[in-house]
Amino acid sequence: MTASLDPAAVIAEFIDAVAPYDPHPGTPPVALLGVRTAHGDQVFPMSDHLIRAMCRALASYRDPEDRGECVDCGGRHLDENLHCRDCGRLHGILGQVIADHARRVARSDGGNAPSESA
């Protein structure tokens, strides 16, 4: 995998990884992909085989930040603790335990916190 995040280098590396498996090498490209960066412009000829490989790679990609969808607001911004950054709901087992406990407390005493005795 390319250590650089140079878009042209990443595309070139992907092409180099896929090209040896093209069943019809040398056929005319079905598209040209142009990349313009601060380092200049590059054009990559794209074969049908390469386009299909990109489609398969995209279909199998899962972003490490994808932790699902919030059941309340539908947002896709759950943090590593499954806390929705959009609406504040806490998901997962811990979130369920906290929500169940909050409902029990609200039912049992109308939401009033127990008083401390000295």
Q: pLDDT tens across 56-108, in order?
A: 999 999 999 898 899 889 999 998 888 899 998 888 787 778 878 888 988 88
Which pLDDT value is given to residue 117?
46
How far is residue 14's CA from residue 33's CA, in Å, rounded to a whole number?
Answer: 13
Report the SS3 class of residue 8: helix
Q: Which residues of 32-61 are buried (b: 16+ CB within 10 A; e: fewer)?
A: ebebeeeeeebebebbebbeebbeeeeeee
How much is the pTM? 0.64
Q: pLDDT tens across 3-14, in order?
A: 668 999 999 999
- Residue 1: is its pLDDT beyond 80? no
Q: Which two tokens stand for residue 115?
A: 């008083």
Tokens 């029990």 belong to residue: 104
Residue 83: CB atoms within 10 A of its CB come to: 18
Radius of gyration of the chain (CA): 26
